[in-house]
Structure 1
Amino acid sequence: MRYALLIPVLAAFFTAGSHSQDRIYRCGNEYTNNAAEAQSRGCKVVEGGNVTVVQGTRVPAGQVRVAAAPAAAGPRVDSADQRARDSEARAILEAELKKAEARQAELLKEYNDGEPEKQGAEGRNYQKYLDRVAELKASIARNESDIAGIKRELGRVPASK
């Protein structure tokens, strides 16, 4: 008995929900549910889902918004000052490169083609020796990448005239 009353109520609920929305028409980038306006403008019916349109704010005709130009990073520098900065940067990079290359020469001399001289307790403890050799090898690789980075930076800095 309870189900006999429930079926007509559910049927009325589902049919009411399916007829509650009017047809939606798409006119370019605009949507409307006014059939007369849609027909006069040649709009197409939107099918296959619900459409939610939020009306945007309109700018009055006299007020046109113009995007502001991006602010400069800082005051402009004249060319003489820029050349001085570039030559100073180049000198610093060249000094760093010389220091890194000297360090590389020291590391390679100490590494001795993978067989450095044993120091102190390394004669009795071979693992300490192997650890130092591995550390030297890692230092050489790290220093090589530093030298490559400095050379890349030197390539980016304009040559002094």
Structure 2
Amino acid sequence: MADGGNAIYLCVDANGRKELTDNGRKGCKQLDLPGLIAAPPARRSEAPRPRAPVSTPGDFPKVDSAQQKARDDDRRAILAEELEAEEKKAAELRKEYKDGLPDRLGNERNYAKYLERVASLRDNIARTDKNIDALKRELANIK
């Protein structure tokens, strides 16, 4: 059996739910776990130690500033194209959505189908707006 400091107890409440705990109370059964080595309790009084700075190995490949600038320019151009496409998509979706009252299509005789399409349009607009915000953040983060 594990000693009192490292003992594990199985407790069952009135509803039959089982719980494993390290403090025995009435109605709990101490489990026999041979070779149990419990981890010491976490120290809460110590502040986390700062990590040592990571140094780059001397043979690590480096990119010169002109090449990095070219990469950043390419990335900026790609993100700008994606942003333009998303903004165009958002404008088309908003035009179709018409402030929540889009025109009913011929196959939407069932009102539930219409409402489903309206909800889908609203979700697509929200998703597109999030994409636009993310692209703007990415563009702002480029050096």
- Is the counterpart of residue 82 in structure 1 residue 90 in structure 2? no
Structure 1 pair 138–74 and aligned structure 2 pair: CA distance change class (3 A): farther
Q: Which runs of 5+ in 2 are unaligned?
A: 1-53
Tell me whether 72-81 or 130-139 shows the greater mean CA deviation.
72-81
TM-aligned CA deviation for residue 71 of structure 1:
3.4
2:63 alignment partner, SS class: coil
- The equivalent position to 1:141 in structure 2, one of 117, 126, 130, is 126
Letter in 2 for 1:147: I
Find the partner of 1:97 among 70, 73, 83: 83
| CA deviations over 1:50-79 (Å, ceiling 9, x no partner) | xxxxxxxxxxxxxxxxxx955379410111
- 1:97 and 1:147 map into 2 onto residues whose CA distance is 6
Secondary structure at the aligned position of 2:100 is classed as coil
Please, what is the CA RMSD of the aligned residues?
Answer: 1.9
Higher alpha-carbon Rg? 1
TM-score of the aligned structures, taking structure 2 as reference length: 0.59
Quick one: structure 1 residues 75 and 144, their matched pair in 2 at CA, closer, same or farther if it must change by over 3 Å? same
How many residue pairs end up in the alignment? 90
Q: Does 2:113 align with 1:128?
A: yes
- Which whole-Å CA distance do the structure 2 matches of 1:83 and 1:113 have between them? 43
Q: What amino acid maps onto 1:140 in structure 2? A: I
After superposing on structure 2, the runs of 4+ consecutive aligned residues of structure 1 that deviate more than 2 Å are 68-74
Percent of aligned pairs with the same amino acid? 50
TM-score under structure 1 normalisation?
0.53
